[in-house]
C-alpha cells in the first residue's frame, strides 16, 4: 500500500502490486501500476492496519465491499490500468468481524459479477482460529484448507496460501469428488 515500496519492487522485477488499501493510502498506486503495466490486487480494508479491527461494522458487508471494489476498479481503469491487470480481493480479515468474513466467502459469486478475477486470502486468519479454537496461526492449515475448497468451488480465481502443496491437494480432491458425484445425483 506504499507506492514507493511498490515502485522499487516492480523496478526490480515484480509483476504484481498487492495494495491492501485499494489505492486509498497511496493515491498514485493505480498510475504506478498503469505505467509499469503490472497486475494490481485491489483489496478492501475498513480503516487502517492500526485501527481496522476496532469495532468494524457493516449494515450489509457484501453490498458495501462490492460497491467499494467496483468504485476502486473503475478508478484504476480511469488511471490507465488495463482491465486484464485488475484483480479484486474482498479483504478477508481486514476490518471485518468473524461473521463478515463468512459472508464474504459466500459472496464470491456476487463479486465475480464485477468481471475481474477474485483473490481470496483466508490462510491462517484469526477467524479460522475463532471457529476452531486454535490460537496458534501455524496450526490453522486444516481449517484454511476448508476455506480454500469452499472459495474455489464458489469461483475464486486466486487463493493466497501458506501451505501451497496442501492447498493444491485439498482443492484437487474436492474437485474430483464433486465431478465424480455428478453421475450419482439423480
Please calculate the CA angle 182-105-90 and round it to the nearest 5 degrees.
135
125 is catalytic: yes
pLDDT tens, position by position, 49-95: 788 788 888 999 999 999 999 999 999 999 999 999 999 999 999 99
For the chain, give every domain's residue range.
Answer: 3-120, 125-155+163-186
Residue 48 has pLDDT above 90, yes or no: no
How far is 115 from 135, CA to CA, in rounded Å? Answer: 37
For 6, the grid coordinates are 511498490
Q: How far apart are CA 114 and CA 118, in angstroms?
A: 9
CA end-to-end distance (rounded Å), the chain: 50
DSSP state of 19: E
pLDDT of 186 higher than 70: no
Quickly tell me which residue has 468473524 as its cell. 98
What is the mean predicted confidence (pLDDT) over 167-174?
96
Catalytic residue among 160, 172, 175, 183: 160
* % of the chain surpassing 70 pLDDT: 99
Tens digits of residue pLDDT in 151-168:
999 999 999 999 999 999
Per the residue annotation, which of 8, 125, 175, 183 is the catalytic one?
125
- CATH code for the structural domain at 3-120: 3.20.20.20
Amino acid at each position: 500500500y506504499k507506492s514507493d515500496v511498490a515502485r522499487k519492487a516492480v523496478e526490480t522485477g515484480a509483476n504484481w502490486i498487492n495494495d491492501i488499501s485499494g489505492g486509498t493510502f497511496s493515491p498514485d498506486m493505480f498510475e504506478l501500476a498503469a505505467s509499469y503495466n503490472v497486475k494490481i490486487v485491489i483489496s478492501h480494508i475498513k480503516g487502517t492496519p492500526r485501527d481496522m479491527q476496532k469495532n468494524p461494522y457493516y449494515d450489509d458487508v457484501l453490498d458495501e465491499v462490492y460497491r467499494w471494489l467496483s468504485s476502486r476498479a473503475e478508478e484504476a481503469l480511469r488511471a490507465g490500468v488495463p482491465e486484464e491487470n485488475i484483480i479484486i480481493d474482498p479483504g478477508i480479515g481486514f476490518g471485518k468481524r468473524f461473521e463478515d468474513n463468512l459472508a464474504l466467502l459466500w459472496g464470491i459469486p456476487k463479486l465475480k459479477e464485477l468481471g475481474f478475477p477474485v483473490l481470496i486470502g483466508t490462510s491462517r486468519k484469526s477467524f479460522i482460529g475463532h471457529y476452531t479454537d486454535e490460537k496458534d496461526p501455524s496450526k490453522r492449515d486444516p481449517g484454511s484448507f476448508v476455506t480454500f475448497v469452499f472459495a474455489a468451488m464458489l469461483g475464486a480465481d486466486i487463493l493466497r496460501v501458506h501451505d501451497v502443496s496442501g492447498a493444491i491437494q485439498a482443492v484437487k480432491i474436492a474437485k474430483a469428488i464433486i465431478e465424480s458425484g455428478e453421475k450419482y445425483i439423480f
